[in-house]
Amino acid sequence: MVSGPDEVTPGALQPTVLQGHGIRLRPWRDDDVVQEPDEASRLIVTDMQPGPADYAEWLLQRRERMARGQCVFWCIADETTDEPLGYIQIRHLDIDFTRGNGELGYWLYPQARGRGIMYDAVELVRRHAFTARASGGLGLHRLQAGTDIANFASARVLRRAGFRMWGIERSVLAHDDREPSDALNWELLAADDVDAQRVSPNVIPTIELDGIRLRPWRDDDAAHLPDEADELAKRYLPLAAQVTKTSFAGWVGRQRRFVDEGHVVPWCIADASTDAPLGSVVVFNIGDRTATSGEVGYWLLPAARGRGLVAVALKTVVAHAFSPVDAGGLGLTRLYAETDLDNHASRSLLRGAGFRQWGQDRQAYTAADGRITDGAYFELLVTE
């Protein structure tokens, strides 16, 4: 439901009350009770979130900026209790050469996180922003947003709302207590097919098997990884897939981003007793070649090789990949794999899992150790 804005002076903006899905977006009030920013907020929010001591000045500044037509600011409140849960804004509305654009920003208090509230708030604001002025909206044609590359929760909200990530600014965000971080840039047009662009993160189920456990990777897994890649890893894995203590943080960060983009489902192959990582099995490039295809990849740490662990893991991953989405699977119809032609262990493993070799090419790859190698191609269909 939408209620009309109050009468204001020409050029001024006021937050139209928007509500639905258990929340109400309304103006901030003088008597709203605000909380001190928590540690997570301090890492990702600048001047958007006030504490109790500076709330009055913060609110006055925002009212002045709305009076100048620069921005619109909402309190995200519980629809039943009217308790403040968070904040959402659209700013940069007064810049002439980007007329019709607005930049989205938001935050939530800790007790409101993990409940889908911010997604619902973004949906309400998106519809209002793209509604014509004559119908009570802001009449925008484009929304943009920026997130810290490490702020996965915010990126998930934007992807689910249909925003597309269009660029990365490297080391652009300054911090007092850590190195500068990268920023992701997002946009959504009023003309976009929002439903077609929505992306929800993939789910990585934990699967218990004979002697091993397939589970998501954790930050503390780095302690169990080698200081440098071994000879077989250098021979058969591309550099980006060689995971060591020093490269793990960057690698796992990329994996999590790809999971959120819907392209990858990576498992850590862990010891069932100790939970220590033994290797990796992953379905990646999901939807890259056909809408329901995916590529399989895997590796093991040296101490875990020769025990048939990947064969056990791969059989389960194949079953999960081909299971229907409504049954918790990926709903794929084709899996494929690529390996060096002379990697006989990998070729044997794929054949044992039911894959068939359908082709090969010559001098196609440059290995991490500098060798120019031939490739072998395998595939498996759900109908097989």
**Residue 192 and residue 142 in contact, taking contact as beta carbons nearer than 8 Å:** no
| pLDDT score of 272 | 96
Mean pLDDT of 5-26: 79
Give the percent of the chain with pLDDT over 90: 80
Q: What is the pLDDT of residues 325-349, one digit of tens each?
A: 999 999 999 999 999 999 999 999 9
In three-state secondary structure terms, 35 is coil
Q: In CATH, what number does 18-197 get?
A: 3.40.630.30
Q: Considering only 81-90, 169-178, 331-340, which range has the smallest mean pLDDT?
A: 169-178
Q: What is the pLDDT of residues 240-278, one digit of tens each?
A: 788 999 999 999 999 999 999 999 999 999 999 999 999
Give 153-193 as a DSSP string. Answer: HHHHHHHHTT-EEEEEEEEEE--SSS--EEEEEEEEETTS-
**Closest by alpha carbon to 296, among 258, 229, 350?**
350
For 93, phi then psi, to 5°, come to: -85, -5
**Closest by alpha carbon to 91, among 26, 24, 140?**
140
Q: In the sheet where 142-148 sits, what is the strand order?
A: 18-20, 23-26, 72-78, 84-91, 101-108, 142-148, 181-189, 164-173
In three-state secondary structure terms, 148 is strand
| pLDDT score of 273 | 96
Nearest-angstrom CA–CA distance, 229 and 208:
28
Q: Considering only 8-12, 270-274, 366-370, which range has the smallest mean pLDDT?
A: 8-12
Q: Which fold has domain 207-381?
A: Aminopeptidase (3.40.630)
| pLDDT score of 44 | 65
Q: Considering only 1-5, 55-59, 374-378, which range has the smallest mean pLDDT?
A: 1-5
Residues of the chain with CATH 3.40.630.30: 18-197, 207-381
| pLDDT score of 42 | 63
Mean pLDDT of 207-223: 96
Q: What is the pTM assigned to this prediction? A: 0.79
Q: Considering only 60-74, 223-237, 299-313, 321-335, which range has the smallest mean pLDDT?
A: 223-237
Give the percent of the chain with pLDDT over 70: 96
pLDDT at 1 over 60: no
